[in-house]
């Protein structure tokens, strides 16, 4: 109750003085916080909180995407040809409950993720690493308790041991993901969570734990602990028993403010230290005394037009034929169609009009700041003559002779996606009067579900990384069994083989060579139209210290500053 009595007035004081106190950080955004249970975290809003109240074994070093350093671990070693990892754990670390962290807590945390592995969570990739499958035990009957127990355990020396079925070069990066945070086992069980035993594990497989007891009452080892949370406000306070350096910021207030204009006014007045901003075109509204705009930050998302080679919704096909009134389900299976569409998009105009000149045309669907990105690869440029040439070759000349009507959707409310779709439509229809592209807005959740079922002909969709390894993008987009495969219907034996090889070697140079092969092959077969990547920026009050290009790490969920709360001060 003392904590509530202390923090609640702080919120009132900040509003009254129109300036946040020196020891308090106020962040305003428009997002809900779905969960504070690490096993369910798979969105940036939840991740930005959990990464500050919980901690993982490893974390990224400074702004690096390739260097990892110990956090709750003090060191680790590899053995068994890269299939066994043994971690030494930090001593005398306290949870917010007052319990001392042990190896048993760490083993319980990872086992819990393997047991639950809900479809709504991000645990598929740690399950893939430790069990050889991204599925849970309900969907893959070969998963047994013995396999889970063997995958992660404690040895007699109190070390945490991971046994992988095969080499995974991304394993350490996966362990830095906030969903692999170490939870307080005794506290979790007291909240009604899984008891950690073989007797009950099957009861928890696939459960949706977004609103779990642990989410309502978390206990981590992080520098901050939750004091109060409701639909619109979260209050956190520095944990006095934190094992690391004591943070300068003692209080953190997260406020949900849906209206962009209200957030902009708040940071201008000093009511907020950091805010969620709108598109680059709105930055002019924020320029002024007391506000810093940090620009030219890395963008770690990748976005593309998907050209579905096997459209499973007859309603999008019109006549279903190349007669000018529709398209066949396999319209995009002809590489000439895909190349024509790729040449028909005006990349430079998109960068100029949507990204105000702050954009990069990438060579592949992998962030250019990531390891494995291949710079020396051809890219498509807007060329109406080239597009016309490939359209004339498509389907033996039938596309050019008869024309087509294509229906494509974009996410409702996404101005950049709408503009991209309109640019493509305008350019294609200008090539041949028999070509028609009908575009429409669609609710995001509906479009996601339909595209996952292969029911969209052409959509714009992107990917943000779970962990800083190229496989998280390359397998997702390009592999025939990748997460996005149903949305594109794309399959290429050579690419599949190269991606599989890259997944099974720890040799960085070899992996990079394989990813370059993927990029070159992708240019040749054109499964996607790569949308230029915007350059990121962030806006904050100038008195806030600890935000810079040298410290900004895009893998930190609290990407408004690219840092943890504990690294900030005023």
DSSP secondary structure letter of residue 127 = H
Burial of residue 146 (CB within 10 Å: 0-12, 13-18, 19+) is exposed
pLDDT confidence of residue 449: 85
Q: And the tokens for 488?
A: 């594109």
- 448 confidence band (pLDDT: 50, 70, 90): confident
- C-alpha–C-alpha distance, residues 520 and 375, integer Å: 11
DSSP 300-369: --EEEEEE-SS---GGGSBTSSSSSSB--TTGGGSHHHHHHHHHHS-HHHHHHHTSTT-EE--SSSS-TT
Q: What is the pLDDT of residues 374-430, one digit of tens each?
A: 999 999 999 999 999 999 999 999 999 999 999 999 988 777 899 999 999 999 999
pLDDT confidence of residue 281: 83
CATH topology of domain 1-32+231-298+535-570: D-Maltodextrin-Binding Protein; domain 2 (3.40.190)
Element (H, E) at 528: strand 528-530
In this structure, the dihedral spanned by the alpha carbons of residues 268, 273, 274 and 280, taken in order and rounded to 10 degrees, is: 30
The pairing of beta strand 160-163 with beta strand 152-154: antiparallel
Domain range 302-534, CATH class? alpha beta
Q: What is the pLDDT of residues 307-358, one digit of tens each?
A: 999 999 999 999 999 999 999 999 999 999 999 999 999 999 999 998 999 9
- C-alpha–C-alpha distance, residues 257 and 255, integer Å: 6
Q: What is the pLDDT of residues 237-276, one digit of tens each?
A: 999 999 999 999 999 999 999 898 999 999 999 999 999 9
pTM: 0.83
Question: Can you give the three-state secondary structure of 470-481, one letter per residue?
Answer: CHHHHHHHHCCC
**Whole-angstrom distance between the N-terminal and C-terminal Cα of the chain?**
27
Q: What is the pLDDT of residues 258-267, one digit of tens each?
A: 898 999 999 9
Q: And the tokens for 544?
A: 């806030």
- Sign, CA dihedral 303-309-312-314, equals positive
| CATH number 3.90.76.10 given to 52-208 | yes
Three-state DSSP at 538 gives strand
Task: Break the chain into its structural domains and give their ranges.
Answer: 1-32+231-298+535-570, 52-208, 302-534
- Sign, CA dihedral 555-556-560-561, equals negative
The answer, yes or no, to whether residue 127 has pLDDT greater than 60, is yes
Between the alpha carbon of residue 230 and those of residues 32, 35, 254, the distances in Å are 10, 12, 10
Between the alpha carbon of residue 468 and those of residues 65, 398, 473, 480, 498, the distances in Å are 6, 44, 9, 22, 19
Cβ pair 98, 144 in contact under 8 A: no
- 364 confidence band (pLDDT: 50, 70, 90): very high
Percentage of the chain exceeding pLDDT 90: 85
Cβ pair 375, 360 in contact under 8 A: no
Element (H, E) at 486: helix 485-488
Sheet strand arrangement including 528-530: 458-463, 302-307, 528-530
- 10 confidence band (pLDDT: 50, 70, 90): very low
Q: What is the pLDDT of residues 27-47, one digit of tens each?
A: 999 888 999 999 999 888 899
The answer, yes or no, to whether residue 2 has pLDDT greater than 50, is no
Mean pLDDT over 168-179 rounds to 96
Q: In the chain, what's the furthest Cα-to-Cα distance?
A: 77
Burial of residue 352 (CB within 10 Å: 0-12, 13-18, 19+) is middle
- Across all residues in the chain, what is the average pLDDT? 93
pLDDT confidence of residue 16: 37
pLDDT confidence of residue 313: 95
Q: And the tokens for 499?
A: 């991606």
- C-alpha–C-alpha distance, residues 152 and 164, integer Å: 9
Q: And the tokens for 444?
A: 């995001």
Between the alpha carbon of residue 91 and those of residues 51, 100, 245, 503, the distances in Å are 20, 9, 15, 34
Burial pattern 370-383, b for ≥16 Cβ within 10 A else e, equals bbbbbeebeebebe
Count of residues making up the chain: 570
């Amino acid at each position: 109750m003392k904590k509530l009595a202390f923090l609640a007035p702080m919120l009132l004081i900040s509003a009254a003085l129109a300036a946040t106190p020196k020891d308090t950080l106020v962040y305003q955004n428009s997002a809900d916080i779905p969960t504070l249970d690490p096993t369910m975290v798979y969105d940036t809003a939840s991740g930005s909180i959990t990464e500050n109240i919980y901690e993982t074994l490893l974390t990224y070093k400074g702004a690096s995407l390739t260097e990892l350093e110990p956090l709750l671990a003090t060191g680790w070693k590899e053995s068994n040809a890269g299939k066994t990892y043994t971690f030494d754990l930090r001593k005398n670390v306290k949870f917010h409950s007052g319990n001392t962290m042990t190896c048993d807590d760490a083993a319980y945390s990872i086992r819990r993720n393997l047991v639950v592995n809900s479809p709504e969570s991000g645990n598929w990739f740690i399950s893939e690493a430790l069990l050889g499958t991204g599925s849970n035990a309900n969907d893959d009957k070969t998963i047994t308790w013995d396999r889970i127990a063997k995958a992660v355990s404690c040895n007699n020396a109190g070390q945490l041991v991971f046994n992988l079925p095969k080499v995974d070069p991304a394993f350490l990066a996966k362990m830095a993901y906030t969903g692999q945070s170490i939870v307080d086992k005794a506290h979790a069980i007291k909240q009604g969570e899984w008891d950690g035993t073989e007797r009950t594990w099957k009861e928890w497989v696939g459960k949706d734990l977004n609103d779990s007891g642990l989410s309502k009452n978390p206990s981590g080892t992080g520098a901050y602990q939750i004091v109060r949370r409701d639909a619109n406000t979260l209050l956190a306070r520095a944990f006095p028993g934190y094992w690391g350096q004591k943070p300068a910021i003692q209080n953190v207030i997260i406020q949900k403010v849906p209206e962009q204009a209200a957030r902009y006014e708040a940071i201008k007045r000093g009511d907020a230290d950091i805010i969620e901003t709108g598109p680059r075109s709105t930055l002019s509204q924020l320029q002024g005394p007391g506000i810093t705009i940090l620009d030219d930050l890395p963008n770690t998302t990748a976005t593309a037009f998907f050209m579905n080679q096997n459209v499973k919704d007859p309603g999008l096909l019109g006549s279903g034929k190349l007669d000018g009134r529709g398209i066949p389900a396999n319209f995009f299976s002809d590489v000439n169609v895909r190349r024509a569409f790729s040449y028909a998009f005006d990349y430079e105009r998109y960068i100029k009009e949507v990204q105000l000149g702050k954009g990069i045309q990438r060579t592949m669907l992998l962030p250019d700041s990531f390891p494995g990105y291949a710079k020396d690869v051809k890219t498509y440029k807007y060329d109406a003559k080239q597009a016309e040439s490939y359209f004339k070759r498509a389907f033996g000349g039938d596309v050019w002779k008869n024309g087509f009507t294509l229906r494509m959707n974009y996410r409702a409310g996404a101005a950049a996606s709408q503009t991209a779709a309109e640019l493509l439509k305008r350019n294609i229809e200008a090539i041949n009067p028999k070509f028609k592209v009908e575009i429409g807005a669609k609710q995001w959740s509906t479009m996601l579900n339909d595209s996952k079922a292969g029911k969209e002909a052409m959509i714009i969709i992107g990917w943000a990384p779970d962990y800083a390894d190229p496989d998280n993008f390359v397998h997702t987009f390009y592999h025939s069994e990748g997460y996005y495969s149903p949305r594109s219907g794309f399959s290429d034996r050579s690419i599949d083989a190269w991606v599989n090889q890259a997944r099974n070697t720890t040799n960085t140079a070899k992996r990079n060579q394989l990813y370059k092969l993927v990029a070159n092959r992708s240019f040749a077969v054109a499964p996607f139209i790569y949308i230029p990547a915007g350059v990121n920026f962030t806006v904050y009050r100038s008195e806030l210290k600890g935000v810079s290009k040298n410290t900004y790490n895009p893998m930190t969920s609290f990407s408004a500053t690219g840092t943890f709360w504990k690294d900030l001060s005023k």
